[in-house]
Amino acid sequence: MSKKSWEDKEVSQIYVKSIDPNSANEINLTKKLYHDPFFFSLLPDLTNKRILDIGCGDGYMLNKLSFICKNCNLVGMDLPNMLEETAIEKDAIELIPADCHELPFENNSFDLVISSLMFHWVVDLSTIAKEMFRILKPGGTFVTSSINPNTFHVGYWENLDTDKPKYVLTKDITKERQFEVYLNKTVGPLTYYMRPIERYKQIFEQVGFNKVKTEEPLLKDDKVLGKYPELTKYSFYPLYLFTTGIKKTQD
């Protein structure tokens, strides 16, 4: 990790401020109009389910789930200082301070585990995958998202003012890599950890998950593209990577 880390309260405060869903910057537009519709389309039936959000941050996904769940038990987990920034809209949501590499939950205790745009911040995804497998019930599922490693911070755009924008790669996307990105000038650099897309699938299959699938949807909503033409590049190159899988039912 860089000089600043997620254990620093300043980092968590500024991060939560930077992802304010009410902000109209491009990051939040893509999340609300592009990421979220696809993420929620991947979720199974949520009725009477116990659901864990790993790296819940400001509580954004938990709050959205709380309005569509029926008789759900929602649990959010993140580092203690991150939870200080969490704004929960319903009292029934439980928040647990913990490290995602060592989840403080019993085996086979959740029906669904989600994690939204967190995996590119972690070094050891294999350990997290093992923990997810351990705490999921047989037949339980996971739904996760991360920044697409083939599109983000590995190249530059050309021809953005045409109907055929082009993304020119400047790094070898077949290898795992890490690089420094600025959260903002106050905090300075933090480390992003990127893996080839096939590595995500391999990691979850190795710990025992079945039907592991990665998806790279493009932004194809004409209404969104008409209102926000600056997002047109994501109709050609996917910004997000989604990974799902199932814990096999015991024989």
| pLDDT tens-place string over residues 156-208 | 888 877 778 888 888 888 888 888 877 777 667 788 888 999 999 999 999 99
What does the pLDDT read at residue 126?
96
Tokens of 242: 């989604």
- 74 contacts 134 by C-beta, under 8 angstroms: no
User: Cα 10 to chain center, whole Å?
Assistant: 21
Place 139 in a pLDDT band, splitting at 50, 70 and 90. very high
Tokens of 26: 């491009």
Tokens of 125: 């995804």
Strand partners, 110: 136
Full-model pTM: 0.90
Place 20 in a pLDDT band, splitting at 50, 70 and 90. low
- 102 contacts 128 by C-beta, under 8 angstroms: no
Average pLDDT, the chain: 88
What does the pLDDT read at residue 9?
79
